[in-house]
Chain A
Amino acid sequence: MTDRTAIIDTLKAQIEPFNKKGITVTEATSFQGDLEWDSLTVMDFVAAIEDEFDIIITMNMQAEIETVGQLADAVAKLKG
């Protein structure tokens, strides 16, 4: 299993508790459009991801991240 696949799997597991609509999550899934998260949900989720990977995703970075795939890229870069 590659690093990226591992990251995606972890992200999917972290998304589940917030996946109220029960949609199938892929790399193309968007947080706002598909998961329909409000700002409070995003905040809780980001905090969980930060703690999971021991990283900081600044609000400046968050503004650029729309999809699960983009988040995986950001996590891989921040972990590196």
Chain B
Amino acid sequence: MTEAGLAADTLPAEAPVVAPERDLFSKFDPLIAERAALMASGVRDPFGIVMERVLGPTTAVIKGRETILLGTYNYMGMTFDADVIAAGKAALDQFGSGTNGSRMLNGTFRDHVEAEEALKEFYGADHAMVFSTGYQANLGTISTMAARGEYVILDADSHASIYDGCKMGDAEVVRFRHNSVEDLDKRLGRLPAEPGKLVVLEGVYSMLGDIAPLKEMVAVAKKHGAMVLVDEAHSMGFFGEHGRGVYEEQGLQLGTDVDFVIGTFSKSVGTVGGFCISNHPKFEAMRFSCRPYIFTASLPPSVVATAATSIRKLMTAADKRRRLWDNARQLHGGLTALGFRLGTTAPDSAIVAVILNDQEQAVLMWQALLEAGLYVNVARPPATPAGMFLLRCSLCAEHTTEQLDRVIGMFAAAGKAVGAIG
């Protein structure tokens, strides 16, 4: 035994307590106290839900109770599609459970290429690059494309993955007021003309479900010579003629108007993964320079096989699209009629956000809904804009009219119980 090994035996049984000022966890004390106070009020933990069984795209068993799911991003209900599941099972049998490597080295299998081909067809694009998650797609593209001395200009309500992409990169970061074309124009006008600029927008902003005036914003960005990236995570499959997103719905073209589109497999596609598509002739250089693409394992073969199958099916999913929009209108209309304050005045997207007074009211109402057999998401600052507490509902094409009638009934009862409506 070495000296060091012997010394370990002589250490006291209990390690000395780290002084609070040197304990790295002291900074979490306010967070721990806030959570303890919330739990002490007797409510269930909104961030500790376990799906014991999943019965289909719209129902699961939570704490032994069958529950309607109205807080997943399974917009097009593809998770239990028979063809999608069959493709995943076949890939598991043929290619095994994982790739054990980076896309750049040993981690690109047939179906990674197949998923990229499906994306190129879906978007009519020259290039598609699949990442392991949507988060990494934003993190990687933004941090790699905009370098020191260049600028990223982003909406103040951008998703955390966009902010983190900015933080990881070396570019100068400029923020404009949410969805304000004028504010974007003013800020771009104050920047020096020469350096490269990337304007980052989202088609649908996921907290309130509001959509961006992309047409006007892109015009402003182009006027100032900036490239444009649009994150279409919450619109794929049901906005625009081909389901390409809000940019397509507003008449914009990939290549001429929008330079890069970011998307995800974890919402409408129904699995996990992220991607960036582009018509930029030099786009493939990203594969050799983007760290969140290179220094991580690629997606398992079954995941990319399900993604490729699902994407191809989404190209012709007109029925699902129609049902999803019908559902959004039914829920938005029902909750408006009950007197709830919603994130948008019209059913602009497949997200319907109910605005509540404070954390206590939001969590009490969330619990009342859960006990009635409905799961929705609780959202709170700093994820939400303007310090709002929300119950966020996201619709699925597979929700039935009867399910949504029941949902609206549950909202009426819970809303009255907590005083959110009269």
Contacts and interface: CB of A to CB of B under 8 A. Distances in A.
Interface of A: 38-40, 43, 46-47, 50-51, 54-56, 58-60
Overall SS of chain A's interface: helix
Given A39-B382, A40-B381, A56 B187 contact: yes
Given A56-B174, A58-B172, A43 B156 contact: yes
Interface string B156-168: 1000000000100
A78 to B, nearest CB: 9
A5 B203 CA distance: 44
Interface in B180-212: 183, 186-187, 190-191
A55 B174 CA distance: 11
A34 to B, nearest CB: 17
B386 A58 contact: no
Contacts of A55: 190
B172 to A, nearest CB: 4
A59 B191 contact: no
30 contacts: A38-B381, A38-B382, A38-B387, A40-B381, A40-B382, A40-B385, A40-B386, A40-B387, A43-B156, A43-B175, A46-B175, A47-B156, A47-B175, A47-B176, A47-B177, A47-B183, A50-B190, A51-B186, A54-B190, A56-B174, A56-B187, A56-B190, A56-B191, A58-B173, A59-B166, A59-B173, A59-B174, A59-B175, A60-B172, A60-B173
A47 B190 CA distance: 13
Interface residues of B, number: 18
Nearest to B156: A43
A55 to B, nearest CB: 7
Contacts of B176: 47
A50 B184 CA distance: 12
A43 B175 CA distance: 9
Overall SS of chain B's interface: mixed
Contacts of A47: 156, 175-177, 183
Contacts of A39: 382
A59 B173 CA distance: 5
Nearest to B385: A40
Contacts of B174: 56, 58-59
B412 to A, nearest CB: 32
Contacts of B386: 40
A50 B385 CA distance: 20
Contacts of A60: 172-173
Contacts of B177: 47
A59 B381 CA distance: 20
Nearest to B188: A56
Contacts of A56: 174, 187, 190-191
A1 to B, nearest CB: 26
Interface in B352-367: none
Contacts of B382: 38-40
A56 B191 CA distance: 7
A38 B172 CA distance: 22
Interface in B134-179: 156, 166, 172-177
A10 B421 CA distance: 43
A38 B186 CA distance: 25
A50 B187 contact: yes
Contacts of B166: 59
A72 B62 CA distance: 55
A46 to B, nearest CB: 8
Nearest to B172: A58
| 5 nearest A-B residue pairs (beta carbon) | A59-B173, A58-B172, A56-B190, A58-B174, A60-B172
Looking at B175, B183, B381, the one whose CB has the most chain A CB atoms below 10 A away is B175
A70 B183 CA distance: 25
A10 to B, nearest CB: 18
A6 B156 CA distance: 29
Given A58-B173, A59-B166, 6 more contacts: A46-B175, A47-B175, A55-B190, A56-B174, A58-B172, A58-B174
A51 to B, nearest CB: 7
A58 B171 CA distance: 10
A59 B176 CA distance: 11
A62 B177 CA distance: 16
Contacts of B172: 58, 60
A19 to B, nearest CB: 17
A6 to B, nearest CB: 20
A60 B174 CA distance: 9
A38 B382 CA distance: 9
A14 B386 CA distance: 19
B96 to A, nearest CB: 44
B29 to A, nearest CB: 16
